[in-house]
Amino acid sequence: MNQPLESYQDEIYLTGVSGALPADLSSLEGLARARLAPQVFGYIAGGAGTGDTMRENGAAFRRWRIVPRMLTDVSSPAFASTVLGTQLAAPMLLAPVGGLRLAHPDGELAVARAAGSLGVPMILSTNSSVALEDVAQASGDGQRWFQLYWPKDREVAASLLSRAKAADFSVLVLTLDARMLGWRPHDLDHAFLPVLRGIGAQNYLTDPAFVAGLPEPVADNAAAAILRSAQMFGDPSLTWEDLPFLRERWDGPIVLKGIQSVADAQRAVAAGMDGIVVSNHGGRQVDGGIGALDALPPIAAALGPRATVLFDSGVRGGADIIKALALGARAVLIGRPYAYGLGLAGEDGVRHVLRALRNDFELTMRLAGCASLDDLSPATITRSP
């Protein structure tokens, strides 16, 4: 975390040794398509329906352009911040991605090690393919948040929260936009749902409340236990009135992920939530939806300082991070790029993605004339005609 800002670029030039993967992170998807099993690539890369929302996420970023300013002093840059009590060396966290052992045998353990070593907080998915306690151990002193897919069984939900707190996960992220799975052609064409193959069910299969509700031990009938975990995913009956259940069982910050409207953002504040993530699940849930970046400015303006606004969906490079921050986000969540890095080169691949993103962001900030996060504003960017 205390290396010079240009350290990764300098390291490559001075040693003559490039990173584990290409420096252009936009090329990772093509490499992953060629190297990963089709059903695995489809699960990571696929979107809902025609993929229109996923494409719109990228298009929303392209509609904004950075306006560099000259002759500003960027000799002593500082891009660290604190978000919901979490120290960020750069304004990014790892988004929750389930079933990462699909991409690499080490799965979430490799991600936790890489993220922890670089000071990037990891948000662990409920649908992790490794039990949350093991991920916490792998992350060492790394900062970590826990993402909850609210299960139908309230006792299991409470148990998951208790375990996460005991394992020192500091912030709870409740995902709202996956009450049920969207129509995902890539997965449907392969009849591929990882949790039904036991990948992504580990937090359930190791949970005391979940196991107590099974008619027989997991070891005696693993298939039945796995099916039960899949059936527990998502509760379409949830409403805003259910949120006190979380506050009563979690004494740290709570963030709602999947907010795309001003009205919902305001309801989150009224419900006493500490933050929101403006996100459309990377285009995996609603086809034909709004680009996440287009949803960000009015939401950030409506909330002001009343809640922490984070951003997710479509971030692929340092310039994208700058645009999201200039439009009101405090930090961004990185998703598919690190999953591709994991699938292509394991822990080294994740580390490469994180170092490349950070160095790209920091260099682009300075070249745009910004020495600190406070220098960013809507004036930093302009809307393309």
Using alpha carbons, select from 367, 3, 353 the residue that is nearest to residue 11: 3
If you ran DSSP here, which 8-state letter would residue 327 be given? T
First to last CA, the chain: 39
Positive or negative torsion for Cα 297, 303, 304, 305? negative
Beta strands 254-259 and 144-148: pairing type? unpaired
Half-sphere exposure of 167 (CA within 13 A, CB side): 24
Residue carrying structure tokens 């600190």 = 372
Q: Which residues pair with 83 in a beta bridge?
A: 86
| 281/275 Cα distance (integer angstroms) | 17
Q: Identify whether 352 is a catalytic site residue.
A: no
Write out the two tokens for 266.
């305001």
Q: Which residues pair with 333 in a beta bridge?
A: 93
3-state helix, strand, coil in the chain (%, to 5): 50, 10, 40
Instruction: Compute how many other C-beta atoms are within 10 angstroms of the C-beta atom of residue 128.
Output: 28
Given the residues 104, 186, 281, 352, the one annotated as active site: 281
Using alpha carbons only, give the angle 167, 173, 175 rounded to the nearest 5 degrees. Answer: 130
- Active site positions, annotated: 281
